[in-house]
A and B are shown apart, each in its own frame.
Chain A
């Protein structure tokens, strides 16, 4: 039995036993190489789940939908290691209760094979060590290094160019599991900190605010990158922020669910390079 069949029947069992009220997984997409999220509430619906190497989205983002978990019931969800990482961050930020999430874990190996991950509860996945060793895909590193090699002026020009494409659709925000605020800072209009129009200044404001809000919180799932309709390489911004946080505070987001938010906690050996 392949993993797809195995997880179909496990999801069906979870639903029929009433352990979970919903399983979030993948279904067929609009084209052969695409998958779209599928929300199964009955064992029958669970038979439609698809699990293959095209299932790359981070479904943890649906867990923080308003009201989904407020009844205290459990939800099952298909997650890759980056999604498990997101769940760790969400738990540490009190957005999820660990006992409400049943994880159907899987990993995509060498871009094609799908393997099951042992465990169902978030505490079963001791992924801390693995995350530390985990490197982003080579093309991300390559692109990041190219930008890091630029002079400050070149880099500014590069991002100005990239951000100029932004149409402020906020798809990056919508798809990101970490953007769970019910009112985003860009929607504050008394006063209007971030300007709404998509000119250079407003685009910089938005994208930099988002980068800072994700510093030490990004699980590197790349959802923002894929969601962006104008192809701004957003994950490079977050990759760089993650690198900064790691070198300054030896902190990797989502290693476990007990982490304190890195930018809101203080350790005696924190570097104080900002103090002149």
Chain B
């Protein structure tokens, strides 16, 4: 006979103000199988839990229903309480009468009625619960970090520093990411490369970090603690082990006029190239699409120049390597938005309309102009530079709705760098709001205005056009309520930060969620900001949302803490909520096999006592099963059941309503 204890929590006024808990207790007390029914202000408190435990012991309860908040909040709390009182923790159910009832209803009578129904249905479920035991699985203590920008590097260094192995995968020829392209960094104006390159070197030299550049993650299988990851190492055509990085091949390459991606097209590179001088590893790659040999079958000058035998190998193929991985950190970064969205600003039409990232290259000491801010069109020093903020951000009609977060700061920095290099120059900044929240940030923008005389004009720009060799910027100053026209020599667009173009595709590949733009979703914005909804996969940097360097680094270290927490254990206890196949009725259509996102279902042969094959049926590997229930919903003959959520339980729940 079922002896169920029902415990109705007031959650202070959260539940009690909308649900008549007295009536709820009365209704449930009369429900068949309910042995004891109590109410209390906070059952999650120590005395509350004690009440539950005492009731279990004194009444020999066979099941417990706590009518309170969402199971995501306190299921663990009460499972532990049950276990301490000697009841199998899976004989507990939480009836959610807060999030799904009191918080969303205003009529007390109706809310009470609904709360009674919810609780009753969980009583009917718990009567059919079975005692379950957690499943333990081993943890592979090796992390995969995807993306070798500052976030990925930081996460890798922190994990490796704690003595765990890291595989750092970067798809470009060098690690470093966007940060390596920047000139100085706000709010301290230290040189980006000067602070980044030591980290890059540390990463590649670290005994616990295996850096795979020019490589991409092809497949991710498995689950927390036990991922199997396949990495494609793209053919570089240069042997990583043999190359000394002397650069002779680059010097001699006859294809010299390829616009450099790293320099935002402001400089050129060769077909065999390293993206920048401090590239890590300092091993060139051959751009197959531009190389004369690959195009015409003749050239090989680089190979002839190279003094090491077989170092340059035109026959090289992509190779694949598989890794056993326990945790994955996704740090795939961002791109800047396509500027062609704003035809009226003349990007692409006028050479001197550039993006903020291009300005970084102009201002960078290692850039194409060696740090001199010069017009791309004629190489002259601009006398007036106009910066247009929110060129894409906060523009629901054409661009993106969100704030790209870093543009206010870097635009102030650009104006500052310009002032430092051209003492007579004028900078004018069109802005919507100056968003400078952060340590030393507001002081920084004030400094740009007060010391470096950046002129801020609050308003939008409607058009940029050329007239008599000048770029005329037509906009409005909303504080004066007047249209303005500025004759400029250069216009810098603070373009929006957007996800990588293949972000959604990649998210699907590795099984994490993303928002409407393609930024990756965290499990909980406030309380689980670096975890994804997929256990064992973590996020850091701008792949989650636009972020500056300090935030990216902080978040990277946070993911490392999560990974190391996971790696502190040898075994992982998993919920025993796994599927099982009813072999007698399984029709062997293998729909579940293809439906299972975790490859947890195999084919199994059923043989009679003489060893003759009777039939083949599906069989779930409980170590791999994540209890998602996809197979259950797919199975037409209704032959699969999920422990903890069996058909009988669900049916009883539904019928109790």
User: Taking beta carbons and an 8 Å cutoff, which residues of A are in contact with B?
Assistant: 70, 93-95, 180-185, 188, 190-191, 193, 213, 260-261, 263-266, 268
Shortest A187–chain B CB gap in Å is 9
Out of A181, A190, A191, A264, name the residue touching B637 (CB < 8 Å). Answer: A181
Would you give the shortest CB distance from B517 to chain A, in whole angstroms? 14
Q: Closest CB-CB distance, A168 to chain B, in whole Å?
A: 18
Which residue in chain A gives the minimum CB-CB distance to B592?
A264
Contacts A93-B589, A180-B587, A182-B637; A191 near B648 (Cβ below 8 A): yes
Are the C-beta atoms of B590 and A93 separated by less than 8 Å?
A: yes
Number of A-B contacts (CB under 8 A): 60
B591 contacts chain A at the CB level, 8 A cutoff: yes
* A264: chain B residues within 8 A (beta carbon): 591-592, 594-595, 634
Return B642 CB to nearest CB of chain A, in Å: 14
- Complex CA–CA separation, A95 to B637 (angstroms): 14
Q: In the complex the two chains form, is A191's CB within 8 Å of B594's CB?
A: no
Q: Are B585 and A182 in contact (CB under 8 A)?
A: yes
**A181 in complex: contacting residue of B592, B594, B615, B636, CB < 8 Å:** B636
| Residues 574 to 599 of chain B near chain A (Cβ within 8 Å) | 584-585, 587-592, 594-595, 597
**Closest 7 interchain pairs by CB?**
A191-B651, A264-B595, A181-B637, A264-B591, A93-B589, A183-B585, A181-B587
Is B652 at the interface (CB under 8 A from chain A)? yes
Cα separation A180 to B595 with both chains bound (whole Å): 19
Are B638 and A94 neighbours in the complex by a CB distance under 8 Å? no
Known contacts A94-B589, A181-B587, A260-B594; is-contact A213 B647 (Cβ 8 Å): no
| Per-residue contact bits, chain B 506-520, to A (CB 8 Å; 1 contact, 0 not) | 001100000000000
Q: Can you name 15 A-B residue pairings with CB atoms under 8 Å?
A: A93-B590, A95-B588, A181-B585, A182-B585, A183-B584, A183-B637, A184-B637, A185-B636, A191-B651, A213-B636, A260-B594, A261-B595, A264-B591, A264-B592, A264-B595
Query: What is the minimal beta-carbon distance from B598 to any residue of chain A, in angstroms?
Result: 12
Question: Which residues of B620-657 have CB atoms within 8 Å of chain A's CB atoms?
Answer: 634, 636-639, 647-648, 651-652, 655
Contact between A185 and B589, CB atoms less than 8 A apart: no
Chain A's nearest CB lies how many Å from the CB of B48?
34
Chain A residue numbers with a CB within 8 Å of B589 are: 93-95, 180, 261
B588 close to A94 (CB less than 8 A): yes
Cβ contact within 8 Å between B638 and A188: yes
B652 interface neighbour in A182, A183, A191, Cβ under 8 Å: A191
Q: Is B505 an interface residue (CB 8 A)?
A: yes
- A95 vs B634: C-alpha distance when bound (angstroms): 17
**Which residues from chain B contact A260 at a C-beta distance below 8 Å?**
594
CB-defined contacts of B648 to chain A, threshold 8 Å: 190-191
A268 to B592, CA, bound (A): 19
Q: Which of B585, B634, B637 contacts A263 (CB 8 A)?
A: B634
Which residues of B are found within 8 Å of A265, using beta-carbon distances?
A: 594-595
> Which residue of B has the minimal Cβ distance to A265?
B594
Contact B505 A268 (CB under 8 A): yes
Determine how close the nearest CB of chain A comes to the CB of B587; give it in whole angstroms: 5
Bound complex: CA A53 to CA B582 (Å)? 44
Q: Tell me whether B587 and A95 are in contact (CB under 8 A).
A: yes
Give Cα A190–Cα B585 distance, bound, in whole angstroms: 13
With a cutoff of 8 Å between Cβ atoms, the chain A residues found around residue B638 in the complex are: 183, 185, 188, 193
Q: How far is the CA of A188 from the CA of B508 in the complex (A)?
A: 36
CB closest chain-A residue, reference B647: A191
> Residue of A at shortest CB range from B614?
A70
Chain B residues lying within 8 Å of A182, measured Cβ to Cβ, are: 585, 587, 637
Assembly CA distance A180 to B615 (angstroms): 14
Chain A positions within 8 Å of B636 at CB level: 181, 185, 213
**Residue contact A261 to B637, C-beta cutoff 8 Å:** no
Is there an interface contact between A185 and B594, defined as CB atoms closer than 8 Å? Answer: no
A261 with B591, Cβ < 8 A, contacts A183-B585, A183-B637, A185-B636 known: yes
State in angstroms the CA–CA spacing of A94 and B603 once bound together: 11
Q: In the complex, what distance in Å separates the CA atom of A51 from the CA atom of B508?
A: 51
The smallest beta-carbon distance between B154 and chain A, in angstroms, is 30
**B639 neighbours in A (Cβ, 8 Å):** 183
Cβ of B242 to closest chain A Cβ, rounded Å: 38
Which residue from chain B places its CB closest to the CB of A178 in the assembled complex? B636
B637 near A268 with CB under 8 A, answer no
User: Which residues of chain A have C-beta atoms less than 8 A from B616's C-beta?
Assistant: 94
Nearest A-chain residue to B603, judged by Cβ: A94
Chain A residue nearest to B634 in the complex (CB): A264
List the B residue with the shortest CB-CB distance to A181: B637
Please name the residue on chain A nearest to B128 by beta carbon: A191
Q: CA A268 – CA B507 in complex, angstroms?
A: 10
Complex contact B591–A93 (CB within 8 A): yes
Seed contacts A184-B637, A185-B638, A193-B638; 4 additional CB < 8 Å A-B pairs: A188-B647, A190-B648, A263-B634, A264-B634
A247 CA to B510 CA in the complex, in Å? 27
Complex: how many Å from CA A182 to CA B652?
25
A183 to B616, CA, bound (A): 16
Say whether B508 contacts A268, CB under 8 Å: yes
Distance between Cα atoms of A94 and B505 in the complex (Å): 31
Query: A261 vs B588: C-alpha distance in the bound complex, in angstroms?
Result: 13
- Residue of B591, B652, B655 ringed by the most chain A CB atoms within 10 A: B591
Interface flags, B213-229, vs A, CB<8A=1, else 0: 00000000000000000
B286: shortest Cβ distance to chain A, in Å? 30
Interface residues of B in 487-518 (CB under 8 A from A): 505, 508-509
